[in-house]
């Protein structure tokens, strides 16, 4: 039994070491990824529920790793947050999204995801403002998406940064609402213009009346704060009619389009314009 224990112990250590090495390698690779042009934004359409017209896109990052292929953001964003690389990466995303917006008509918005850690930087509003001016993009065409996790650490500082961003005229969306640390208190902070209902709720609503009731109350609550409500993760025509009829203003999900390359997004923009 003792031998086995030791064996288990050493095997465990070796595995831990290889996990750590893998992580370290990925971190090193990530630090070069921006400069090497391996990062790319894809754009997922955002649809007006009432008439199914295109209102904008959410920018979603992809990393084209030279040997590993496409690494999903769920794998490298946490790594970037741990190492602080998220600061550079986040600035690059803002810059790139503004560049895309500058190529599209004024009625098309672009949403960008922010990590909680980026909100700890007092310089963020200046960075956003500089990118908007550089590409001559109106502030109200840019939306910044944050999750409730921003309120876990440095609440006062983050709230101040959010307020200063809001004062620039950019939109602030509360992302993934209903997952994690949901507290209705956050809605009362007067910084959010939009609430995004998490896709897991949307899909659960298909067979669950309690979930429908929860979504109903979320929509009511958001509307009482004059927030726009977006339903994420809409995959089927049923999801769409259900969420529309529950009062969601905007819809996002595979039903209307997967995250796509800038060129395809542009085709969609122009196709919509000419219709």
Residues lying near Ca ion in the complex (CB under 5 A): 113, 145, 175-176, 232
Q: Does 235 help bind ligand C2E (rule: CB under 6 A)?
A: yes
**Piece of the chain touching ligand C2E by CB under 6 A; list 20-28, 29-37, 45-53, 227-235:** 227-235
What is the spatial distance between Cα 146 and Cα 173, in angstroms, rounded to a whole number?
6
What is the spatial distance between Cα 91 and Cα 127, in angstroms, rounded to a whole number?
7
Shorter beta-carbon distance to ligand C2E: residue 4 or 74: 74
- 199-226: b (≥16 Cβ within 10 Å) or e: bebbbbbeeeeebeebbeebbeebeeee
Contact residue for ligand C2E among 30, 33, 47, 93 (CB under 6 A): 93
Shorter beta-carbon distance to ligand C2E: residue 5 or 93: 93
Pair 192, 223: CB distance under 8 Å: no
**Piece of the chain touching ligand C2E by CB under 6 A; list 4-12, 20-28, 159-167, 253-261:** 253-261
Q: How far is the CB of 4 from ligand C2E (least distance, A)?
A: 41
The greatest distance separating any two alpha carbons of the chain, rounded to the nearest whole angstrom, comes to 75
Pair 125, 143: CB distance under 8 Å: no
With CA atoms as reference, report the closest residue to 83 among 146, 24, 33: 24
Q: Does 44 help bind ligand C2E (rule: CB under 6 A)?
A: yes
Report CA-CA distances (Å) from 251 to 81, 122, 175, 222. 29, 32, 13, 15
Shorter beta-carbon distance to Ca ion: residue 29 or 232: 232
Shorter beta-carbon distance to ligand C2E: residue 137 or 259: 259
Shorter beta-carbon distance to ligand C2E: residue 5 or 37: 37
Shorter beta-carbon distance to ligand C2E: residue 7 or 180: 180
Select the binding partner of residue 61 from Ca ion, ligand C2E, none (C-beta < 5 to 8 A, by kind): ligand C2E
Q: How far is the CB of 20 from ligand C2E (least distance, A)?
A: 23
End-to-end CA distance of the chain: 74
With CA atoms as reference, report the closest residue to 92 among 37, 46, 54, 167: 37
Q: Does 92 help bind ligand C2E (rule: CB under 6 A)?
A: no
139-158: contacts with ligand C2E (CB under 6 A): 145
Shorter beta-carbon distance to Ca ion: residue 96 or 232: 232
Select the binding partner of residue 235 from Ca ion, ligand C2E, none (C-beta < 5 to 8 A, by kind): ligand C2E
Pair 233, 17: CB distance under 8 Å: no
Report CA-CA distances (Å) from 45 to 33, 115, 116, 127, 181. 26, 21, 24, 25, 27
Select the binding partner of residue 233 from Ca ion, ligand C2E, none (C-beta < 5 to 8 A, by kind): ligand C2E
Which helix H or strand E contains 94, and what residues bound it? helix 86-102
**Piece of the chain touching ligand C2E by CB under 6 A; list 18-26, 109-117, 159-167, 221-229:** 109-117
4-43: contacts with ligand C2E (CB under 6 A): none
């Amino acid at each position: 039994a003792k031998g086995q224990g030791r064996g288990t112990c050493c095997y465990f250590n070796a595995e831990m070491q290889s996990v750590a090495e893998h992580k370290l390698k990925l971190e090193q690779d990530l630090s070069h990824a921006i400069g090497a042009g391996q990062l790319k934004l894809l754009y997922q359409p955002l649809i007006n529920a009432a008439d199914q017209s295109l209102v904008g896109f959410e920018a979603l990052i992809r990393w084209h790793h030279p040997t590993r292929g496409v690494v999903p953001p769920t794998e490298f964003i946490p790594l970037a947050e741990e190492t602080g690389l998220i600061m550079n990466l986040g600035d690059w995303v803002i810059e790139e999204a503004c560049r895309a917006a500058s190529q599209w008509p004024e009625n098309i918005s672009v949403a960008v995801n922010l990590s909680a850690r980026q909100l700890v930087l007092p310089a963020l509003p200046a960075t956003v403002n500089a990118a908007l001016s550089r590409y001559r993009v109106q502030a109200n065409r840019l939306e910044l998406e944050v999750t409730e996790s921003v309120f876990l650490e440095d609440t006062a500082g983050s709230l101040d940064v959010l307020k200063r961003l809001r004062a620039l005229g950019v939109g602030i969306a509360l992302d993934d609402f209903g997952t994690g640390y949901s507290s209705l208190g956050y809605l009362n902070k007067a910084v959010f213009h939009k609430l995004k209902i998490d896709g897991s709720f949307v899909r659960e609503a298909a067979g669950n009346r309690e979930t429908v009731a929860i979504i109903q109350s979320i929509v009511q609550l958001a509307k009482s704060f004059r927030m726009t409500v977006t339903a994420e993760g809409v995959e089927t025509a049923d999801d769409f009619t259900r969420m529309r009829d529950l009062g969601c203003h905007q819809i996002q999900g595979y039903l209307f389009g997967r995250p796509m390359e800038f060129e395809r997004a542009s085709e969609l923009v122009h196709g919509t314009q000419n219709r």
